[in-house]
Amino acid sequence: MNNAIALLFPGQGAQEAGMGRDLAEADAEAMRLWKRAETISGLPLREIFWEGDEAAMSDTRALQPALTVVNLNLWRALAGRVHPVAAAGHSLGEFSALAAADVLDEESVLHLVSLRGRLMAEADPDGRGGMAAILKLTQEQVEAVVREAAEESDLPLIIANYNTPGQYVVSGDREAVALACQKVRPLKGRAVELRVSGAFHSPLMEKANRELEPLLRKAVWRRPRFAVYANVHGRGLTDGESLKESLLVQMVSSVRWIETVRQQYADGVRRWLELGPKAVLGKMVGQCLDNLDEAARAQLRVELINSPETLENFNA
């Protein structure tokens, strides 16, 4: 499996104005998927994202189906030219990875992400939850900060995203998040509170997670064409039942991205293709593999596929 290719699909935070428009206007099937997502979500996705309404683009109800459409259209355009052995998606992006591997069909995925976006937007009507990025601290330091802040506040708080060895995201009650941010400063770290509508990947998403569960169970889960690495533990899975079980708890579990990239490398992946609007996950690959020597790092290849031009110039 050495020199094998893995697909990466981004999630929330990768959106940008005009995303997916060039490809959709050049391809009838790509445009059809946008229209289908609009019907399912009940939202004018092309108007929101192609006209660049910043406030509307950050609304997770619109963002989740729209970004999924962009990811899937890029994969459809590339699919016949590359033979990946693995895929992974960051949070929302995991649904794109499942569709790319034929675990779930596109129709099911669009229904799931549209409902997921609505449930997550409605999960915190009182604005109780918050999130913050913590930078320049070790994993052990961040874990200690989170443990202390949760104990002192007696409020829910977890590490939601293990993004890179120098970037973690904490999620939970706003008071606990603020306390964690205070504890970061004496350690010479940096904390940045995020503008989000809820405490994603935390216990505060429990109600939304329960409401999504029936649709997840109802979906037809097939054996993947290639391994899909699950957010909840970072290991590659090759059967539909295990992938379903991992996704049943994804919304309330941490995104183990460091483990995901390192496990893909251990399994022989040396080339990563990020399919999404802009470079997000590709930048994390080298950071997650910071333990490699210079010779090993020189073998890594990371590419962004985000437009008709990058598709045209792609060299398998």
Dist CA 47 CA 45 (whole Å): 5
Instruction: Tell me the H-state helices in the chain.
Output: 21-26, 28-41, 45-50, 54-57, 60-78, 93-100, 106-122, 139-153, 174-184, 206-218, 240-248, 257-266, 281-288, 294-298, 308-313
Cβ(158)–Cβ(255) below 8 Å: no
* Residue labelled with tokens 């079980």: 245
Q: Rounded to an integer, what is the distance from CA 39 to the centroid of its chain?
A: 23
Exactly one of 41, 96, 108, 201 is catalytic; which is it? 201
The amino acid at 135: L
Dist CA 255 CA 269 (whole Å): 20
Task: Determine whether 253 is an active site residue.
Answer: no
User: What is the 8-class DSSP label of residue 288?
Assistant: H
Q: Label residue 293 left, alpha or beta by phi (over 0 means left) and psi (-120 to 50 means alpha).
A: beta
User: What is the 8-class DSSP label of residue 224?
Assistant: P
Dist CA 73 CA 275 (whole Å): 9
Task: Determine whether 91 is an active site residue.
Answer: yes
Cβ(72)–Cβ(96) below 8 Å: yes
Dist CA 220 CA 256 (whole Å): 25
The CA-based dihedral angle spanning residues 202, 239, 281, 248, taken in that order and rounded to the nearest 10 degrees: -20
Q: What is the CA radius of gyration of the chain?
A: 19
Exactly one of 91, 96, 114, 254 is catalytic; which is it? 91
Dist CA 219 CA 130 (whole Å): 31
Residues annotated catalytic, as ranges: 91, 201
